[in-house]
Amino acid sequence: MKREQRAEIVLKRLGELYPQTPIPLDHGDTYTLLIAVLLSAQCTDKMVNRVTPSLWKLADNPYDMSKQKVDNIRAIIQPCGLSPQKSKAILELSKILVTKHDGKVPESFEHLEELPGVGHKTASVVMSQGFGHPAFPVDTHIHRLAQRWGLTNGRSVEQTERDLKKLFPEASWNQLHLQIIFYGREHCTARGCDGMTCGICRELYPKRRTPIITKK
């Protein structure tokens, strides 16, 4: 089976399983989405959603957040991990949004990736889920599953993103990346599937007998 054929099966199966793809991070606007995505680095969405209501009570916009003390932000977000770095990034990016962007989250990859704590993956989530621009954020779930499904060689997250963008229609990217994440959490987990267990893995590789060791 060719890579393009496997991609067609993946697109069809995920569409059947997840016709609706609600954004897993609770937020009210692009600013709170940006902060929530930043907090989700090496942290579960569930924990982020547990922490952010308290953070929004402290400040839910860049103007108010830029006036806070970093220790106060850190105390709230500590359960998310990496709190020293994340709290500083939240404070500094809020100040930059106020001074350089009129308090608004910029609608471009270039300006988003200039913000402290915001890498390409975070910018991609904000561009796709916040602004509706086509993007294909690749997290660990997507990177792992793309390898198991033979959609990429897995050499790097960047390569996986390029490969997936070539395989799938641009109009599908924003929903598809969420569908893959949902499927990875529910069916094709890091420990629960080795490339031979879940439904999609079995359909794509019915004769596979050797577990797939994914590359980071």
Burial status of residue 109 (CB atoms within 10 A of its CB: 0-12, 13-18, 19 or more): middle
Say yes or no to pLDDT of 57 above 80: yes
**Residue 138 reports pLDDT greater than 90:** yes
Listed in sequence order, the residues at least 6 apart from 162 whose beta carbon sits closer than 8 Å to its beta carbon are none
CA distance 151 to 147: 6
Contact status, residue 146 vs residue 61, Cβ threshold 8 Å: no
Domain boundaries, the chain: 3-21+136-204, 30-130
Whether 68 contacts 95, CB under 8 Å: no
Assessment of whether the complete model's pTM goes beyond 0.85: yes
Q: What is the mean pLDDT of the chain?
A: 95
| Spatial distance between the Cα atoms of 17 and 141, rounded to a whole number of angstroms | 17
Whether residue 60 is predicted with pLDDT greater than 80 in this model: the reply is yes
- In this prediction, residue 139 carries a pLDDT of 85
Percent of the chain with pLDDT over 70: 100
Per-residue pLDDT for 211 more than 80?
A: yes
Please give the average per-residue pLDDT across 32-39, as a whole number: 98
The phi and psi torsions of 206 (rounded to 5 degrees) equal -65, -25
CATH architecture of 3-21+136-204: Orthogonal Bundle (1.10)
Residue 96 near residue 111, CB atoms below 8 Å: no
Give the model confidence (pLDDT) of 149-204 as tens digits: 999 987 889 999 999 999 999 999 999 999 999 999 999 998 889 899 999 999 99
Question: Which residues form the catalytic set?
Answer: 121, 139
pLDDT at 216: 65
Q: Rounded mean pLDDT of 58-81?
A: 97
Residue 104 pLDDT: 97
**CATH for the stretch 30-130:** 1.10.340.30
Any idea which residue has 């949004």 for tokens? 97
pLDDT given at position 214: 77
Confidence of residue 215 (pLDDT cuts 50, 70, 90): confident
Q: What is the mean pLDDT of residues 30-50?
A: 96
pLDDT at 44: 93
